[in-house]
Amino acid sequence: MHEPQKFARVVIPSPLRQPLIYAVPASLQAQIALGMRVLIPLQKRITTGIVIETLAENPLASAKEIFTALDDQPILDAGLLKLAHWTSQYYLASLGEVLATMLPPNSRRESKRTVVLKADHSSINDELGQKVLQEIVQRKGKIPVTTLTRQFPGENIDRVLGRLEAAGAIVIEDRLAKQRRKAGASAEPKETSIDAEPLRFQLTSEQEAALGAIGKRITQGGFETFLLHGVTGSGKTEVYLRAIAQARSLGRRSLIIVPEISLTPQLLDRVNARFPGKVGVLHSAMTAAERWSQWWRIIRGNVAVVIGARSAVFAPIPDLGLIIVDEEHDSSYKQEDGLRYNGRDLAVVRGKFLHCAVILGSATPALESYVNCRQGRYQLIELNQRVEERPMPAIEVIDLRQQFRKTDAATDARSRANAARTKTADRPLLSESFVRLLRQNLAAKHQTLIFLNRRGFANFLQCTLCGHVWRCSYCSVTLTLHLKLKILTCHHCDYRRPTTNLCPECKNESLTPVGAGTEQVETTLQQLIPEARIARMDRDTTGKRGSQEALIRRWERGELDILVGTQMITKGHDVSGVTLVGALLADLSLNLPDFRAAERTFQLLSQVAGRSGRGDDPGRVIIQTYAPDHYALEFLIAHDYKGFFAAESEFRRALNYPPYGRLVNLRLDGPKMAEVEQRAQALAAGLRELQHRTAIFREQIEVLGPAPAPIEKLRNRFRWQLLLKGKQSAPLLDFARHARALIPRSPSLRLHIDVDPYSML
C-alpha cells in the first residue's frame, strides 16, 4: 500500500512575496523536516528553498517535486523559524527577504543556464538569432544566458534561444554552481575547563550584585531582560563572562552581540582566553566560505559561545541559554538597507521565544531601553563605580567662539587676509590650550585619543571668487577632499574625481578647502608635534582586511602616542595608557535634522570620554565646541545620564517621539524627481483617505509629509518620505501595511518601509 503523497511549503530566500508549494517525493518523505534546505525547480532554473511547513494535501491543482534535500539536518531550528515569522510580520517584509538576511551567503545554490553551440546553424535566417549565434561562437561555443541578456538589452533573449533550440542550433544546459565543503563542520570539539583562565581580580560589590540577579534567572530558567547600566570602566565585560560560565555549567550556550566585531579584538581575546576552543565567530568581514563553515560548526554544537555583529542574532545556536547585547545603544544595530531590522530588539524577542535571559549592556543606554526599565519590562542593574575605585575622567569644555575672538584680536588685517587665501581650516580644530596639554601628555609618556566624526581632509572645495562648490554627480551632497589620495569623493556612493585648484565656473585657480576631517587633524599634528608617533583610524585607513585589528594592537602595545579617528575609536577599546582624550567640533552631530541628535551626541561623547583614565593614572577629557551651553554637553560634563534622560524625555514626550510614540518611515525613491514626488503625494492622499474612513486610524495615527528626504538624491535616485506616528505599534503597523497596496508595481520606483527608523536622513 502506497504512502499518501506529502507536500511542503517552501520559501526561497529572496524578495518573492509568497511561499511556494512542492510535492515531496516518496524517497524524501522520511528526510524532509522544517527548516531544511531543499533543491527545487523554479521556472527555467534550479534554486534553493527552505521548508517552512509540511502539508497532507495540496491546495493547488498540481505541484512540481522537490529534487533533493541539501543537508542531513535542518539549517534553521523551530526557534529561528518562529523568529523569522515574527520579523516578517513586524518589519512588514516578505519571509523570503527575512530568510535571505538570516542565512549566510553560501547557503543558497542556484543552477546556471548555459547556452552550448550544438550543430550547423547556416539555416538560421533571423537577424537577431544570427547575432546571438555569432556571440556564442566568439565565446568558443559556450556562454551563460545571463551574459547574453546583458549583451542584448531590451531584447527577449529567452524567446530567441527557444527558436534556436527548436532548430537544433543550440542546447541549453542547467548546471548547479559548485559549493565549497563545510570545512570543519564535523570536527569534534575539544573539551576545556570552564575556568581555563584564572580570575584576575575580585568582583566589586556592584558586580557581585549584578551577577547574583542575572545568575538567579539563568539558574531558574525563563525569560527576563536585564539592562546593565554601567559607567565606562565599571567591569561589564567581567559580568558577561561569569554569566556565560554559569550558563555553560548548566549545559547552555551563549550569544554575545557587539556593534562591530572587527573593532573589538580585546573582547574576543578575553572570551577566547576564558573559553579556549569553544568560541564561534560570525560577522560580515569574514569570507562567505568562513561564515558557512562557522554556521555549521555552531549548528553541530561545537562551540559554547558565539560572538558576532548585528546579524549574529540569527546564529543557529542549540540550547541557547543567554543572550548579551554589548553597547546596546549603538546605531550599528539598526540595519539601514534591505531588511531594516534592529539587532538589539530581535535579541530580546529571541530571548522571549527561547525563555532565556537577555543582558543589554551600556554606559549610555538608549532612551527606549531605560523607559522599558521604568515601565517594568526590563530589570535595571547599575554599576556606578569604576573597578578598583578609579575616578571618572574630568571633562573640560573649550568654547571655540572665545578661541576665535582671541585669535582675531591678535591678528592684524593683513594676516587675516592672507589666512583667507590659504588652507587654514585647521585653525579652530586644535586650540592652543589643547595643544599644550598634548605636548605635556607626550612628555609624560602617556597616550592621547583625538576624536572627530568626519573623515577626509576637508568637507568640500569652494571657489573663493564665485562660490562654486564641487558636488557629487549622483547624490545631493558635496564631495569630500582626501588630500593624500588627491581625490574628491562621495562617502555615500563612492563617486570620485581628481582634485584641482581650477574652478569649473569662473576658470580661476581659486578652489579652497572648507571644513575639516581626520586627515587634516593628522596632518596638522604631524606639523605641530613631529616627534610624536601618530596614526589615524577611519574607513580610509582600515579598508584592507586585518588592518583595523593591526592598528588597534599597535595602540594597545603603546607603539603609538596619538590616535586620531572617527567614531570607530570609541567602541570597546580598553587601553590603560590613554590619559588624555580630545573631542573636536563636538557639536557636529547636534546639527543633524534628526530628533535623536542630542541623544547620539551625548552617547558618542560619553563613550569617547570613557576611553580615558582606565589605568592607574587619572584621565582628562577636552571637549571643543561652538555650543557649550547645550544641555547634552552640560550633562556630559557632570557624567549625569539620569539628568540627560529626564531632559530629553520631556522633549520626546511633548512631540510623541520614541520612546513615547512609535514611528514608521515610508520612503519612495526613483530615477525621476517628478515621478517620485507625484507618487509620494498620491501615497499620502491614499493614506489620509484610509485614515479618514477608519476610526482607529483617525484617532491613533498621524501622517506627516510627504517631503523630500534631507539627502534628497542618493546614488542617482530621488527620495521623498512620509512619517507615520502612533502611540501603539499594532494599529500603526496595520496602517503602514496598506502602503504597498497604494503604490502600483513599477520597475523603477521603490517603496521602503522602515519600522522604528533610526536614521531620518
Residue 587 shares a structural domain with residue 696? no
Residue 384 is predicted with a pLDDT of 93
Domain containing 677 equals: 662-755
Residue 87 shares a structural domain with residue 13? yes
**Mean per-residue pLDDT, 330-341:** 94
**pLDDT at residue 501 above 60?**
yes
216-226 pLDDT, tens digit per residue, is 999 999 999 99
Write out the three cell numbers for 383: 554599576
* CATH number, position 627: 3.40.50.300
Residue 462 shares a structural domain with residue 510? yes
The candidate with the shortest Cα–Cα distance to 47, out of 126, 111, 113, 100, is: 111
Residue 123 is predicted with a pLDDT of 66
396-433 pLDDT, tens digit per residue, is 999 988 765 655 555 554 444 344 333 344 355 888 88
How far apart are the C-alpha atoms of 516 and 452, rounded to whole Å? 9
Residue 389 is predicted with a pLDDT of 83
> Last residue of a domain, which of 65, 92, 107?
107
Q: DSSP string spanning 423-453?
A: --TTTTTS-HHHHHHHHHHHHTT-EEEEE-S
200 in any annotated domain: no
Residue 374 shares a structural domain with residue 305? yes
The candidate with the shortest Cα–Cα distance to 685, out of 661, 703, 667, is: 703
**pLDDT at residue 195 above 60?**
no
Write out the three cell numbers for 738: 496598506
pLDDT-derived band at 60 (thresholds 50, 70, 90) equals confident
**pLDDT at residue 752 above 70?**
yes
Residue 629 shares a structural domain with residue 520? yes
Residue 402 is predicted with a pLDDT of 79
**pLDDT at residue 177 above 70?**
no
Count helices and strands (H / E) in the chain. 22, 30
Residue 17 is predicted with a pLDDT of 78
* % pLDDT > 90, the chain: 60
**Mean per-residue pLDDT, 502-531:** 91
More confident residue, 698 or 196: 698
Q: Are strands 620-625 and 578-583 parallel, antiparallel or unpaired?
A: parallel
* Phi and psi torsions of 586, nearest 5°: -65, -15
Residue 473 shares a structural domain with residue 354? no
**pLDDT at residue 349 above 90?**
yes
Nearby residues of 607 by Cβ (< 8 Å), 6 or more positions away: 232, 327, 363, 364, 570, 571
22 in any annotated domain: yes
| Least confident segment among 98-112, 556-570, 659-673 | 98-112
Residue 217 shares a structural domain with residue 362? yes
Residue 182 is predicted with a pLDDT of 46
How far apart are the C-alpha atoms of 315 and 320, rounded to whole Å? 10
Q: Taking CA 724 as the corner, what is the angle to CA 720 and CA 727, rounded to the nearest 5 degrees?
A: 165
Q: Is 560 left (phi over 0), alpha (psi -120 to 50) or beta?
A: beta
Residue 185 is predicted with a pLDDT of 38
Classify burial at 465, counting beta carbons within 10 Å of its beta carbon; exposed 0-12, middle 13-18, buried 19 or more: middle
Classify burial at 269, counting beta carbons within 10 Å of its beta carbon; exposed 0-12, middle 13-18, buried 19 or more: exposed
How far apart are the C-alpha atoms of 230 and 204, rounded to whole Å? 12
> Last residue of a domain, which of 494, 515, 536?
515
Please tell me what DSSP assigns to residue 469.
B
Residue 547 is predicted with a pLDDT of 83
What's the alpha-carbon Rg for the chain, to the nearest Å? Answer: 29
pLDDT-derived band at 198 (thresholds 50, 70, 90) equals very low
The candidate with the shortest Cα–Cα distance to 212, out of 175, 239, 179, is: 239
Residue 94 is predicted with a pLDDT of 94
**pLDDT at residue 740 above 50?**
yes
**Mean per-residue pLDDT, 34-40:** 93
| Least confident segment among 185-194, 494-503, 522-531, 716-725 | 185-194
**pLDDT at residue 92 above 50?**
yes
Residue 425 is predicted with a pLDDT of 40
187 in any annotated domain: no
How far apart are the C-alpha atoms of 75 and 583, rounded to whole Å? 46
Buried b (16+ CB within 10 A) or exposed e, 49-66: bbbbeeeeeeeeeebeeb
489 in any annotated domain: yes
190 in any annotated domain: no
191 in any annotated domain: no
How far apart are the C-alpha atoms of 441 and 447, rounded to whole Å? 7
Write out the three cell numbers for 353: 521565544
**pLDDT at residue 188 above 70?**
no
How far apart are the C-alpha atoms of 510 and 20, rounded to whole Å? 62
Residue 422 is predicted with a pLDDT of 37
Residue 144 shares a structural domain with residue 97? no
725 in any annotated domain: yes
How far apart are the C-alpha atoms of 105 and 179, rounded to whole Å? 11
Residue 334 shares a structural domain with residue 376? yes
The candidate with the shortest Cα–Cα distance to 568, out of 476, 450, 698, 656, is: 450
288-325 pLDDT, tens digit per residue, is 888 899 999 999 999 999 999 999 999 999 999 999 99
Residue 212 shares a structural domain with residue 326? yes
Distance of CA 621 to the CA centre of its chain: 29
Residue 174 is predicted with a pLDDT of 67
pLDDT-derived band at 43 (thresholds 50, 70, 90) equals confident
Number of domains the chain is built from = 6
> Last residue of a domain, which of 107, 126, 144?
107
Residue 13 shares a structural domain with residue 75? yes
What integer best gives the mean pLDDT of the chain?
87
112-161 pLDDT, tens digit per residue, is 778 888 866 666 777 888 888 888 888 878 888 778 877 787 677 777 88
**pLDDT at residue 524 above 70?**
yes
Residue 539 is predicted with a pLDDT of 86
* % pLDDT > 70, the chain: 91
Q: DSSP string spanning 565-632?
A: ESGGGGSS---TTEEEEEETTTTGGGGSSSTTHHHHHHHHHHHHHTTSS-SSSPPEEEEEES-TT-HH
Contact between 332 and 310 under an 8 Å Cβ cutoff? The reply is yes
Residue 190 is predicted with a pLDDT of 37
289 in any annotated domain: yes
126-139 pLDDT, tens digit per residue, is 788 888 888 888 88
Q: Is the pTM of this model over 0.85?
A: yes
What residue type is 135 in one-letter code? E
Residue 197 is predicted with a pLDDT of 46
The candidate with the shortest Cα–Cα distance to 526, out of 518, 534, 515, is: 534
Residue 353 shares a structural domain with residue 420? no
